[in-house]
Structure 1
Amino acid sequence: MPVRTAAPRRRAVSMTSLIDVIFLLPLFFMLTSTFTKFAEIPLSTGGAGAGGPAPEAAPLFLRLSQTELSLNGETVALEALPDRLDAQAGDGAESPVLVSPTQETTSQRLVDLLVALRGLPGVDLRVLE
């Protein structure tokens, strides 16, 4: 004669841990989010055959790599770059600055450079591809 056993009882799902997660996740995202507007950086790329009048001042060539920064072939620190550009620009006419990042340059390094040069008067930044 077969022996009948009672079916195993299911345990009730505890809602306490689910409620904890539901309240902790929004709290985490509210505390770690930033609601400020980031500053905008104007950026123009050097196009092929862009029409228009030729610049009055000679362009300054800025080579950007991951480890060093050079202005017209001379190595310069990022902090000293605005003063060097101001000294080389000269008479206050708008001078184009051609920025050429190397392959290993990260986008963060390029943004750091653009932020450092953002407020300089008389500097027309162009990023070469």
Structure 2
Amino acid sequence: MFKPRRKRTKLSMTSLIDVIFLLLLFFMLTSTFSKFSEVELSAASGGAALAPDVKPLFLQLGSDDITLNGEVLDLAGLAPALPVADADAAPVPLLISLRSDVTAQRLTDLLVALRPLRSVAPTVLGGT
């Protein structure tokens, strides 16, 4: 037979807005705001030729180890293995070669470790 038509009730938007506000407040209070540090990079440019007595250092960066002129090191032992800066001397070129398994974070960690050292001038070699 004929069913009586049900009356539609209006939904209250107040409770929905309250729930959205509470979710927004929750996510704002639980999220972490981390400070990102910057690593200065400069494009390579044509420079003057090296003096004949200056030998560049060769560093090969892997995902787990670092090889400096054939000697295997870790990131903590890198700074003591590099030459000490003279006040008048120019920095020694440090050529950095990346293995295929190196991540961008690993390279950033290396560049951050090299930043305070004024005795070396790092140059990251491009891949082929």
Cα deviation, residue 122, structure 1: 2.3
1:69 is the counterpart of 2:63: no
Distance 1:103 1:10 in 2: 65
Q: Is 1:98–1:125's contact at 8 Å kept on the other side of the alignment? A: yes
How has the CA–CA distance of structure 1 residues 98 and 11 changed in structure 2, closer, same or farther, with 3 Å as cutoff? farther
- The residue that corresponds to 1:54 in the other structure is 49
Cα deviation, residue 42, structure 1: 1.8
1:40 is the counterpart of 2:38: yes
Point out the more displaced range, 12-21 or 98-107: 12-21
Distance 2:7 2:97 in 1: 70
> Greater RCO between the two (CA within 8 Å, min separation 6)?
1
Distance 2:9 2:101 in 1: 57
Identical amino acids, percent of aligned pairs = 37
Distance 2:99 2:26 in 1: 42
How has the CA–CA distance of structure 1 residues 30 and 127 changed in structure 2, closer, same or farther, with 3 Å as cutoff? farther
Cα deviation, residue 10, structure 1: 4.2
Local SS of the residue matching 1:63: strand
1:21 is the counterpart of 2:16: no
Distance 1:106 1:26 in 2: 35
Distance 1:70 1:63 in 2: 5
Give the gaps of 5 or more residues in structure 2.
Answer: none
Cα deviation, residue 19, structure 1: 1.9
CA RMSD of aligned residues (A): 2.7
Give the gaps of 5 or more residues in structure 1.
Answer: none
Return the TM-score normalized by structure 1: 0.76
Cα deviation, residue 82, structure 1: 0.8
Superposed counterparts of 1:1-129, under 5 Å: 3-10=1-8, 12-13=10-11, 15=13, 16-29=15-28, 31-34=30-33, 36=35, 38-44=36-42, 50-56=45-51, 57-86=54-83, 92-129=89-126
Q: Is 1:43–1:125's contact at 8 Å kept on the other side of the alignment? A: no
